A and B are shown apart, each in its own frame.
Chain A
């Protein structure tokens, strides 16, 4: 059973702080890793993807991947109240379907 695990939260951070969201996965053959943001009542919105070990930065967001540890994380710098949402981690082997975690709820306190 391929699994993706995320802490459900809520993770509360003050405005301007760094939010760190973590995800572990069970399938060692996973090749691509995605972070989606989902506001309440809305559909998931792609933030970024990563498929090589190391860091990938896009604006205030940094994805980090460690395949040896089967661990992927998302850092949000200078967190804003508008970042308050559920963050979904999804992994994939080749072009097989995305396997999602249950998501981590982030609350940024003004």
Chain B
């Protein structure tokens, strides 16, 4: 157990809908990163939040957006869902700052878009 929690566990949406995924970081961690993992692929970086500010973004369109709250929990929002958005969405928390910053993953949210 990493202490990182995500909700919901599973979600089924239809194309065009919007979805919000949630993540609570491990105690003492101020950085949250979101990844998308399609079947048979490695996780792909979506974006990262550090102390409530986005400080890095991968190659994902603007319909993927996020927030980080003062308690360092985070949300991932996806608008106008497409079939290709079906994937496991992973949240990872870390301490941030200098040095080797190890990321610990939550259990993930499995999103299915029909």
Q: Is the beta-carbon distance between B102 and A49 smaller than 8 angstroms?
A: yes
Chain B residues lying within 8 Å of A46, measured Cβ to Cβ, are: 102-105
Q: How far is the CA of A1 from the CA of B107 in the complex (A)?
A: 29
Show the binding face of B for A, using Cβ within 8 Å.
2, 33, 35, 40-45, 48, 56, 58, 88, 90, 92, 96-98, 100-108
Number of interface residues of A (CB under 8 A): 22
A residues neighboring B (CB under 8 Å): 4, 32, 34, 36, 42-46, 49, 51, 88, 90, 95-103
State whether A43 and B42 are in contact (beta carbons under 8 Å apart), knowing that A49-B102, A51-B100, A97-B56 are contacts in the complex.
no
Nearest 8 A-B pairs (CB), nearest first?
Answer: A100-B42, A97-B45, A43-B105, A43-B108, A102-B42, A100-B43, A44-B105, A32-B100
Docked complex Cα distance between A100 and B38 (Å): 12
Known: A34-B102, A95-B98, A97-B48. 5 other contacts (CB 8 A): A45-B2, A51-B100, A98-B45, A99-B45, A101-B42
